[in-house]
Structure 1
C-alpha cells in the first residue's frame, strides 16, 4: 500500500471518527434540548392551568380560551393569560373527568406516576406531566364567582375568600401530554442530515487527503528518481540533490549522501584490498621464482657433479642459506607491504617519537655494534599520532638500508647522523649516511617496489625503501632522497599531524 493511499485512508478515517463523535454529540444534545423544550411547555401549561382563576374558568366552562379576558380590562387584577390549546390536557376530580381536550390519549389501565414520565399507548409514545392539587367545593366557587360577577363583592375580596377558605373537599388531577412522534421525526431528520454530511465530509477528506499526499510526496518522488539514477550508475561518487524544500526530506537526502559516502569509502577500501591482494600474489610469484630456481639449481648440483669435493659442497650449502635468507626477507617485506596497504585510521595512537627512535637505534646498534649512529632531538620532542608498527618499520628500514649499503662500500666504518626538528607543526627527520649514495636519476625509482639502485649490494629484495615510502604516505607524509654532506644518501622524512 502506497504512502499516498495510507494518508488518504488515515485522513478519511479521522474525518469519519470526528463526524461520528460530533454527530453523536449533536444528536444527544438535540434530543436533550427537544425534551427540555417539551418539558418546559408542559410545565408552563400545568402552571397556567393550575392557577385558581384559570382553573375556575376552565371548570366552569369546561373549555380552554386562547385569551382569558375579564370584563373590566382596566382592573389591574385581571391579567391576560395565554394557554396552549394544542397541548392535550386532562383534568379529573377524584373519579369524575372534568375536562379532556381534543387529542388527549386514553391512559385507561395505565398507572401514570406524578411528575414527568414516558408512556406508550396504542403504539404511540407520549411525554406526560402529572400534577395534583386541592381546591375548595365547587358550589363555593360558583357562589363566590357569582358574587364577583354581580358586583356584590370585589374581585380582590372574592380571591381573598377563596384563598382563605378551609373547605377543601376535592383533589384535582391535572395532566398534560405531548406526543413524542414529533421528537422522533425531528431526530430522524437530524440523523439523516448528519449521515449525509458525514458521507460528504469523508468524500471531501479523501479527495483532500489524496491531493495532500500527492503534494507532500512530490519531494520524496524527486528524491526517489535521483536515488534511482545513482543506483543505476556504477559511479559511487554521484550524490542526490539535497535541496528539496521540506527539512525532513533534505535531512533524508543528506543521510542518503552520507550513506553513499560511506559506501564509496567501503568500496574504495575493498578495491584497495583486492588490488593489494592481486599485487601481493603477483609480487610473490615474481620475487620467489628467482630464489626458488636458484635453490633448485644448487640442490641439483651435487646430483649432477657427484665428484664435488667438500669445499664445493659447503659453498653450495652457503648459497642455499643465502637464498633462504633472501626468500624469508622478501616474504616478510611483502607481508608488511600488504598489511600497510590495508591499514586503517583506527590503529593510530599517540607515540612519543623520542622513545621510538631511541629504541630503534638501540636495536640496530645491537645488530651492528661497529655502526656509529648520532641522534639530535629538539628540546621538546613531539608526540605523533601514528601507527606504532608502521613508524618502527619506516625508520628501521631507513637506518638498516643505510647500514647495509654503507658497510659494503666503506672501509672506515659506518656512520649515520639523525637530525630531528619540528617546523610548522610538521616533524622533519633527516638521516645521513656515508655510503656510496644513489645517483640522482635513480632516486625516485628506488622507492618503487622491487627496484634496486645501481650502487646497491647484492643483498636485499628491493622492498626496503618501498616500505618507507608506503608508511610515509599512510601517515600523510613524504620522503625525499638527496645527497648527504659525506657523499652518501640523505633521507628527508616529513610527517605532519604533530601533537605538541
Structure 2
C-alpha cells in the first residue's frame, strides 16, 4: 500500500527531516542502550564469577549453616546476601544441600550443566553460574543474581530514548517548518507572480530573485521563456493585423473583377483579359506580401535557423548576377575590397534576401530606363559594409527613417511594391548586429548601406584595402 505524501513541498521537507531525525536519534539511542545493557550483564557475570570463587573458599562455613532463608545478622553469608537480590546454593546431584540469600517467588530448578546461563522463574530472570565445588566431588556450587534491576534499567532507558526521539522529531519539525518558510519564500513569490500573469498582458514578468542561486536561475530562465513567448505572441498579433490590413485591398480588387466576369459572361475579350491581368497582378502582390510578412514574423519571434559562416563576396557576387537577369535594362557594377575575406556568422538566406531587396529597390527607383547601380563591399576590424548606390531621385532626408517602417512607400512612390522591402533589410541588419543607413550618393541618387557584424578569422587584416577590382554587368 502506497503511503499518501503531503502535497506541499514545505510539508514534504518537514516530514522527511522529522522522519530522518527520528531514525537517527532512535537508532543511535537504541545502540547506546544496548551497549549499556551489555555492560551491565557483563558486570553481573563478572560479579557472579568473583562471588563463586569467594564462596568456594569458605564452602565449609556455608555448609555449617545448614539450609534455610537468611535474615540480617544470622551468619556471615546471610548478612551479606539478604537484600542483595542474589542467592548461593550447594547442589549434590539432584538435591539442594543448602542455600543462602534472597529466595525467588518460585523454586529455581536444579542446574543440569555448569557455566553461565539465564533462568526464568516466576516471571523473574536470574543469572546463574555453576561450577564444581571440588575436583573429586559431585557437589556443585551455584551462584544466582536477580536480573530484575537490569531489565528495569533497560526498559527505562528504552523509554527515555523513545521520548528523546519524539521530542527531537517535534523540535526538528518545528524548526524545519520555520526555516523552509524563509527558504521557500522566493518560490512563493514566483508562484504569486505567475498567478498574476494574464495572456492579454504582453509585458508581465516574474519577480526577480537573487538567492538562493537555484531559484534565481529558475527565475531568470522563466523570465527568458516569458520574453520569448511574449515576443512570439507580439509577432503573431502583428502578422495578423498587418496581413488583415494589407490583404483587404487586393482581395477586394480580385473579388470585384470576379464579380464583373460572373455578371458579364459576354464581356469583350479585351476587357476580360484586362480583368484577368489585374487579378494576376493582385495575386502576385498577395504572394509577395505574405512571404514578406512571414519573414518579418519569424524574425520578430526569433524563429531563426542555426547560424552559419557566410562568405560575403560570394553572396554579393551571386546576388548581383541574379539581379541583372531580373532587371536587364539596369547596369550593375561591383567593387569588393581585397585582403582577408570577411566572414559573418549569420543566416545566409536572410542576408541574401536583404541584398536582393536593396538591388531590386535600386533598379526600381533608379533612373528609368538605362539605370546605373553600383554595389560595393568594404570592411574594418569589426563590421562589413554593403553599399548599393542608384542614380534615381533619392529619398528626402525627412522621409528616410519612415520608409524603413513596414508598408511605407514614401510620398511619391515609383513602383507598386508591398512596402516591406526596406523593413526586411532593416530587420536582417539588426539580427546581424548592424543597421541600415540611407543617405545621398556622391553623384545624386540614394546610397543604402547595410552594416553587418563581422566574425574575424585567423590571419585576416584589421582594415580593408582599396578595391582591387570592379566589374560591370
Asked whether the two chains share a fold, i.e. TM above 0.5, the reply is: yes
Query: Match of 1:177, SS?
Result: strand
Residue number in structure 2 paired with 1:491: 448
Residue number in structure 2 paired with 1:78: none
Residue number in structure 1 paired with 2:156: 192
How many residues matched? 435
**TM-score normalized by structure 2?**
0.76
For the structure 1 residues 95 and 18, does the alpha-carbon distance in structure 2 shift closer, same or farther, using more than 3 Å as the test?
closer
Residue number in structure 1 paired with 2:230: 267
Residues of 1 paired with 2:99 and 2:115: CA distance? 19
For the structure 1 residues 437 and 291, does the alpha-carbon distance in structure 2 shift closer, same or farther, using more than 3 Å as the test?
farther
Residues of 1 paired with 2:144 and 2:224: CA distance? 81
For the structure 1 residues 497 and 301, does the alpha-carbon distance in structure 2 shift closer, same or farther, using more than 3 Å as the test?
farther
Post-superposition offset of 1:96: 9.0
> Is 1:128 paired with 2:119?
no
Question: Would the aligned equivalents of 1:130 and 1:173 in 2 still touch at CA under 8 Å?
Answer: no
Query: Match of 1:362, SS?
Result: helix
Post-superposition offset of 1:20: 4.3
> Is 1:435 paired with 2:420?
no
Query: Match of 1:50, SS?
Result: helix
Post-superposition offset of 1:210: 1.1
Residues of 2 paired with 1:418 and 1:332: CA distance? 25
Residue number in structure 1 paired with 2:346: 386
Tell me the C-alpha RMSD between the 2 structures. 4.0
Match of 1:240 among 204, 207, 218: 207
Residue number in structure 1 paired with 2:246: 283
Q: Deviations over 1:149-179 (max 9, x none)?
A: xxxxxxxxxxxxxxxxxxxxx7261423325
Question: Would the aligned equivalents of 1:7 and 1:209 in 2 still touch at CA under 8 Å?
Answer: no
Residue number in structure 1 paired with 2:355: 395
Residue number in structure 2 paired with 1:154: none
For the structure 1 residues 299 and 95, does the alpha-carbon distance in structure 2 shift closer, same or farther, using more than 3 Å as the test?
closer
Q: Which runs of 5+ in 1 are unaligned?
A: 68-80, 136-169, 307-312
Post-superposition offset of 1:437: 3.5
> Is 1:177 paired with 2:143?
yes
Q: Deviations over 1:3-25 (max 9, x none)?
A: 44444444443444345434544
> Is 1:482 paired with 2:439?
yes
For the structure 1 residues 206 and 376, does the alpha-carbon distance in structure 2 shift closer, same or farther, using more than 3 Å as the test?
same
Question: Would the aligned equivalents of 1:230 and 1:236 in 2 still touch at CA under 8 Å?
Answer: no
Residues of 2 paired with 1:263 and 1:461: CA distance? 32
Post-superposition offset of 1:279: 0.7
Residue number in structure 2 paired with 1:161: none
Query: Match of 2:443, SS?
Result: coil
Post-superposition offset of 1:89: 3.1
Residue number in structure 1 paired with 2:27: 21
For the structure 1 residues 382 and 37, does the alpha-carbon distance in structure 2 shift closer, same or farther, using more than 3 Å as the test?
closer
Post-superposition offset of 1:275: 1.1
Q: Deviations over 1:279-322 (max 9, x none)?
A: 11221113443466468669988956x6xxxxxx5587367436
Q: Deviations over 1:154-206 (max 9, x none)?
A: xxxxxxxxxxxxxxxx72614233252xx124422441343145224413431
For the structure 1 residues 127 and 221, does the alpha-carbon distance in structure 2 shift closer, same or farther, using more than 3 Å as the test?
same
Q: Deviations over 1:310-367 (max 9, x none)?
A: xxx5587367436623541442143223223213343542211111111111112234
Post-superposition offset of 1:220: 1.2
For the structure 1 residues 359 and 300, does the alpha-carbon distance in structure 2 shift closer, same or farther, using more than 3 Å as the test?
farther
Query: Match of 1:381, SS?
Result: coil
Residues of 2 paired with 1:378 and 1:289: CA distance? 49
Residues of 2 paired with 1:349 and 1:176: CA distance? 97
Query: Match of 1:346, SS?
Result: coil
For the structure 1 residues 3 and 59, does the alpha-carbon distance in structure 2 shift closer, same or farther, using more than 3 Å as the test?
same
Question: Would the aligned equivalents of 2:30 and 2:158 in 1 still touch at CA under 8 Å?
Answer: no
